[in-house]
Each structure stands twice: as C-alpha cells, then as structure tokens.
Amino acid sequence: MDQNKIKEEKARWGQSDPGLAKAAPRHTDWGDPVEKLYTPADVSAQDYLEQLGFPGEHPFARGVYPSMYLGRPWTVRQYSGYDSPKDTNARFRYLLEQGQTGLSVAFDLPTQIGYDSDHPMSAGEVGKVGVPVDTLEDMEVIFEGLPLDKLSTSMTINAPSAIMLAMYVSIGKKQGLDPSVLRGTLQNDVLKEYTVRGTYIFPPQPSIRLVTDIFAYCSKSVPRFNTINVAGYHLREAGCSAVQEIAFSFSNAIAYIEAALDAGLGIDEFAPRISWIFNTNNKLFEEVAKYRAARRIWAELLRDRFGAKDPRSCMLRFHTQTSGASLTAQQPLNNVVRVAYQTLAAVLAGAQSIAACSYDEALSLPTEESVRTSLRTQQILREETGVTDTIDPLGGSYYLEALTNQIYDRIKGLMDEVEKMGGAVAAIEKGFVQKEIERRSYDIQKQIEGGKFVVVGVNKYAIEEQEPEVLVESNPQAEQDQIERLQALKNRRSNDKVDGALAALKQTAQGDGALMPVIIEAVESYASLGEICGVLRGVFGEYQPVRTI
C-alpha cells in the first residue's frame, strides 16, 4: 500500500464540499486535534505488526486473554454499602438475586480514615457514603449468609487496607475456609489518596510499607486475591484527562513495584496480582484507545524495565466504573444514556469487570430500581447487542488505532516527566501531580460555564424542572445504633486479649517485622479499627497535606 499515494488522495478528497471547510475543529480529551478522516496512512504497517498483535499475546493491546468474552463475560459489580452492616447485607443479597456476579464494598468515611463510629471526628458521617466497619463483628454481619468461596469481593479501602483484609480472612476462617480459596480485590492504593481523594492516614513511606507487607502476605497465604487495585478512577473523577489518568496511576504503580522489589519480593511473585480500576468516560473511541494504549505500555514496562518472565505479570487486568462525575442532577434520566454508552466503551475496550453507575446518584443513595437498571444495562449489552460475538470488534479501525498511538505517546511522555522528578512519591511531595489535576479541572469547569464543553441538560437543552426529589436518604438512627453496637461489643470482649494484641502490633510496627500476622491477631481479638489505627498513628505519625497554592 503506497502511503504517499493515500496522503495525496486524502488531501484531494472533499475539496468541493463546503461542509468540510466550515466544520469546526475537534479535539481529543487531552487536547490534540482530531482529523476529519483517518486512512491507512495514519496508522503505519509497523504499528499493526509490532504493536497490535493478537488478543492474549504480548503486548496485549487487543485484550489480555485469547478468548476474551467468548470464554467468559466480564464480572458485573455494583458499588454498594450504606447505613449499617445489616442494610448492606440486604442490598448485597438483592443485587446477587438480580444477577450481579461479584460484590463491591463501599465503606463510610470514618472507616476509610481509621476512626471508629464513636469517635468525635466521625459525628455526622457514619454510614453516609458507605457501610461503617468498626470491628470484625460488623464484617461478619455484612457477609452473613454469603459464601465467600463462591464470591469475588472488591473492597474500596486504602489506608486501612491491611485491617479490612485481616477481617475478610478472619470471616473466611469462621466459614471454615482456608485463606487460599478467597478471591477478590483490595484497592490498597494509598498514593492517589495524597493527590485527589484525601482518605489518607499515615505518611507515604509507612503507607507503602503496609502495601508491600500485604503483597508478601497474600503471595503466600491468599494467592487468589488481587493485592492492589491501582486507581486511575479517582484521578479522573477529580479532573484528570485520559492521559493523566493512566500516566499518574502507572507512575504510582512503579513506586509500589520498586518498594516491593526493595523489600525482597520477586517481580513475578506479586505482579500477576496487581489489578486496576479506571474511569470510563463519555468519549467512546478515546476511552477504548486509552485502554489499548495502557495495556501496551504496561506490558512493555513490566517485561523491559522490571524483567518479568511470567506473562501474567504483563497483563493489565482492570475493573472500570462509569463516570460518576459525568452524572447530572438536572434531567437525571439522561444519565441512563450516559451510563449505557460508557458501559459500551468499557466492553469494546475489553474490561475484566464493570460497575455501571446508577442514574440517580447525583441526587441520593441509589434506589433498588436504579441499581437494577444499572445491572440491566450490562445484561442487555451482554445478551442482546452482539458486542461480545467477536473479539476486539473495533481492532484495525484507522481512527481507533491512530488515537491509540497518539495517547500512547502522550502517556509515556507524562510518565517520563514524573520519572525525572524522582518518581511518584517525589512528584506528590512537590505538589506537581496535585497542581496538574487542579489546573485541568479548573479549565474544564471554565469551558462548561462558557458553553464550550457541552453537558446536555445543563448548559445546552436545559428545561424548567421542579426541585428534584431525594429518593433515598440515610437512616438518621443508623449512626446511634452503630455506636451502641460498638460499645456493647467493647463491654463484652476480652480487653486483656485486645491489649496484648495491640501491644504486639506496636512492637512490630516499631521494628521492621511483618505486620499482617499481628493485625490479624488484633482483629480476631475484636480490637476495633480505630484502636488498631491509633497504635499505628502513634508509631508512624499522620500525613500533612502539601500546599499547592
């Protein structure tokens, strides 16, 4: 195929069509111009032969498994948790009855930052954005009647990840299960907490120690658990571009890998259990290209830089959730359409697990109807649309492959910039990542307010609406009930046993021993989350955020 000839024909094409001349320029999410037409000249033969490859083969651009959805559909999850452990258990049962195939636990804010429900800092926040978990007893209620050997459970928890994992392992043992059969994913990505999410507790270095300690423990005792779910999702929700989402999350992952190698772990001991959560946003083709480029970069990074030999180490396996930040309180039924298209993008991109947002999330806690609609969105895609009939149906599209190459270069360029600063931790400590995200978020908000960035129903096609009804509110009594349950447990447990376990934890934290075994001992004595985190705060200290202005 003569590339120069194609370029000449493209330059000649459409010259007599005034519509082409008048067409406004279009740009990608990351700011590059979009061509009016893509041809083979925009994607060289070398790209196809050396970079595209086949599904299930290095560099995995077309998918991480040869069979992809022909072999097994993606895992369907809905992010859930609210009011109390009992209410959360009931919602999990409902979702499983409706066809959900994996659980995803949302924890309330006090749990995420290591405070018990009866702590003054927790007032007004207990059970509001997730389920409160103070002790092992709460986790027992959440999973009551749910067989952990038949479920895969994702837990969105970061600073106290080791404690939640210890609780999950402990309830597995109470069900008579060996930890080796437990399956699931622990988010455990503390670095992004310092840049966008804010649910940090300890400074970066002891936090990374906890991360690598989990790697070591799970590699021997819980080998089927994904030990970290590196999160681009929250970076994107805070305002990142697609390029920044991948580049910053990959830079964080490099920091975790280097820490684990420094701790004496081999790359192929833990890399196969690194998983990801990304954000699938509105620009369908760009989102598909983003994931294809990300798989290529990750495969190259693990093989060429870190010397991984196990092909599983090079596979970028990811969960994605549709974009919560794209949902609007105005005309909320429009969100059904947004979520459907975003879910389609995730499927066309080859996601391993998907959570579809509920259309009413901008207004209230999702209703049973809205979460059922989200489940049905995934089920209709899987069963009715034919998008799973062949592997990588968009592969070879001139536009898609050109976008993939473009975003590939942009991501690598930003990763190199972070690397020159000394890596992710140094870039965070200097405030670079925070400033870049804040700047981009501010620019997008200005574009929305100026009408250049269209949000249907908000700055275009708006209508007169009544004040929206808040459909589901938190139970005002739930917080007091949770505090009373916690205090009752503290009164009946063996406090001597708790004190001994916490003393052992303090001694281990002050040295360099493995933390997971002593955390499990503390959890099984029914020491509370706040008590365990209090000991670690006393040894590690608390993180103080970097000023960016």
State CA 390 to chain mean position distance.
27
- What tokens were used for 204? 């970066």
Residue 281 gets the label, from left (phi > 0), alpha (psi -120 to 50) or beta, of: beta
Q: In this structure, are residues 448 and 458 in contact, taking their beta carbons and an 8 Å threshold? A: yes
Measuring CA to CA, how many Å separate 438 from each of 29, 269, 450?
A: 16, 36, 18
**In the chain, which residues have pLDDT < 70?**
1, 44-51, 469-474, 548-549
Going by their DSSP bridges, the two strands 33-34 and 26-27 should be labelled as: antiparallel
- List strands edge to edge, sheet with 274-280: 225-226, 183-186, 152-156, 102-106, 75-80, 353-355, 318-322, 274-280, 228-231
Q: Note the pTM of the prediction, 2 decimals.
A: 0.91
- What is the rounded CA–CA span in Å between residue 330 and residue 290? 29
Q: In this structure, are residues 170 and 520 in contact, taking their beta carbons and an 8 Å threshold? A: yes
Measuring CA to CA, how many Å separate 288 from each of 63, 191, 530?
A: 11, 26, 41
- What is the rounded CA–CA span in Å between residue 525 and residue 103? 26
Measuring CA to CA, how many Å separate 198 from each of 45, 238, 342, 453, 543?
A: 45, 11, 26, 28, 10
Helices (H), 143-229: 161-174, 204-221
- What is the rounded CA–CA span in Å between residue 350 and residue 62? 8
Other beta carbons within 10 Å of 471 = 14
pLDDT value of position 49 = 45
- What tokens were used for 88? 């959360």
Q: In this structure, are residues 159 and 132 in contact, taking their beta carbons and an 8 Å threshold? A: no
Q: In this structure, are residues 55 and 68 in contact, taking their beta carbons and an 8 Å threshold? A: yes
pLDDT value of position 47 = 53
Q: In this structure, are residues 359 and 339 in contact, taking their beta carbons and an 8 Å threshold? A: yes
Q: Which domains does the chain have, with CATH numbers?
A: 49-449 (3.20.20.240)
pLDDT value of position 375 = 93
- In eight-state DSSP terms, residue 9 is H
103 bridge partner residues:
78, 153
52-58 LR contacts (CB < 8 Å, sep 24+): 52/395, 52/396, 52/401, 55/350, 55/391, 55/392, 58/299, 58/303, 58/311, 58/314
Residue in the block written with tokens 């990750």 = 298
- In eight-state DSSP terms, residue 313 is G
Residues shown for the chain: 549
Measuring CA to CA, how many Å separate 493 from each of 111, 171, 315, 480, 531?
A: 21, 17, 45, 20, 14
pLDDT in tens, 491-535: 999 999 999 999 999 999 999 999 999 999 999 999 999 999 999
Contacts of 193 (CB under 8 A, 6+ apart): 158, 159, 199, 200
**What SS3 class is residue 219?**
helix
Residue in the block written with tokens 């490099």 = 254
- What tokens were used for 183? 């399956």
Going by their DSSP bridges, the two strands 152-156 and 102-106 should be labelled as: parallel
- What is the rounded CA–CA span in Å between residue 374 and residue 436? 33
